[in-house]
Amino acid sequence: MQAPRSVLRVALPLPLPRTFDYLPPPGVAAATVVAGQRIVVPFAGRELCGIVVGHGDPEPGIEPKPALALPEALPLLQGELLASLQWLAGYLHAPLGDVLANALPAVLRRGEPLADTTRHGWRLAEAGCTALPAMRAGRPQALAALLADVRDEAWLDAEHAGWRAPMRGLRERGLVERVALHQERGPFPAAPTQPAPVLNPEQRSAADAIRAADGFASFLLDGVTGSGKTEVYLDAIGDCLARGRQALVLVPEIGLTPQALARFRARLGVPVHALHSGLGDGERAATWLAAMRGQARVIVGTRSAVFVPLPEAGLVVVDEEHDGSYKQFDGIRYHARDFAIVRARALGVPVVLGSATPALESLHNAQSGRHAHLRLRHRAGAARPPAVRVLDVRKRPLQAGLSGESLDAIRAALQAGGQVLVFKNRRGYAPVLLCHDCGWSAHCTRCGTPEKPSAMTVHGGGRRLQCHHCGHRRAVPLACPDCASLGLQPQGAGTERIEEVLQERFAGNTVLRIDRGSSGHRDALQKHFEALGAQPGILVGTQMLAKGHDLPNLTLVVVVGVDEGLFSADFRSAEKLAQLLVQVAGRAGRADKPGTVLVQTHHPDHPLLHTLIAGGYHAFADAELQQREAAGFPPFTYLALLRAEAKHADPPMQFLQQARDLLGDAGIEISGPLPAPMPRRAGYLRTQLVLSAPERRRLHAALDTLLPRLHALPAARKLRWSLDVDPVELY
Give the β-pairing of 398-399 and 272-275: unpaired
Model confidence pLDDT, tens digit, residues 554-608: 888 898 878 777 777 788 888 998 888 888 887 776 666 778 889 898 888 888 8
Residue range 280-307, pLDDT digits in tens: 888 888 889 989 988 889 999 999 999 9
* Residue 377, Cβ density class (10 Å: 0-12 exposed, 13-18 middle, ≥19 buried): exposed
pLDDT higher than 70, residue 435:
yes
Per-position b or e across 502-531, b if 16+ CB within 10 A of its CB? beebbeebbbbbbbebbbeeebbbbebbee
Alpha carbon 237 to its chain centroid, in Å, reads: 21
Please give the share of the chain, as a percent, with pLDDT higher than 90. 43
**Neighbouring residues of 487: CB distance < 8 A, sequence distance ≥ 6:** 435, 436, 437, 480
Q: Judge contact between 21 and 67, C-beta under 8 A.
A: no
**Amino acid type, 504:** E
Peptide bond into 397 cis (omega under 30): no
Strands 176-180 and 151-152 turn out to be unpaired
Instruction: Count CB neighbours of 311 within 10 A.
Output: 14
Going 638 to 320 to 410 to 491, the CA torsion angle's sign is negative
Beta carbons of 72 and 108 less than 8 angstroms apart:
no
Query: Which of helix, strand or coil describes residue 104?
Result: coil
Q: Looking at residue 519, what is its pLDDT?
A: 59
More confident residue, 158 or 489: 489
- State how far Cα 674 lies from the chain centre: 30
Q: Do 407 and 399 meet the contact criterion of CB atoms below 8 Å apart?
A: yes
Q: What is the pLDDT of residues 524-560, one digit of tens each?
A: 666 776 677 778 888 888 877 766 666 778 888 898 8
Describe the crossing of helices 573-585 and 607-631 by its angle, rounded to 10 degrees.
140
* Whole-angstrom distance, CA of residue 273 vs CA of residue 288: 9
> Which tops the pLDDT comparison, 148 or 509?
509
Confidence of residue 660 (pLDDT cuts 50, 70, 90): very high
Say how far apart CA 370 and CA 219 lie, in whole Å. Answer: 9
d(CA 16, CA 95): 6
pLDDT, tens digit (0-9, with 9 covering 90-100), for 4-47: 468 999 999 999 899 999 999 998 888 899 999 999 999 988 99
Closest CA to 656 of 689, 685, 692: 689
Q: What average pLDDT does the segment 48-61 reach?
A: 89
Query: What are the residues facing 307 on neighbouring strands?
Result: none
Q: What is the mean pLDDT of the chain?
A: 87
Q: CA-based Rg of the chain, rounded to a whole angstrom? A: 28
Ramachandran bin of 572, using left for φ above 0, alpha for ψ from -120 to 50, beta for the remaining angles: alpha
pLDDT at 188: 39
- Angstrom distances, CA of residue 409 to CA of 412, 595, 597, 599: 5, 12, 10, 12
Q: Are strands 554-559 and 596-601 parallel, antiparallel or unpaired?
A: parallel
Q: Which ranges in 119-163 belong to alpha helices (H)?
A: 126-131, 139-146, 153-159
Query: Helix, strand or coil for residue 633?
Result: coil
Q: What is the pLDDT of residue 666?
A: 76
The pTM of this model reads 0.86
Region 64-71: mean pLDDT is 92
Q: Say which residue, 120 or 560, is predicted with more confidence.
A: 560
pLDDT over threshold 60, residue 672: yes
Query: What's the mean pLDDT in 273-278?
Result: 84
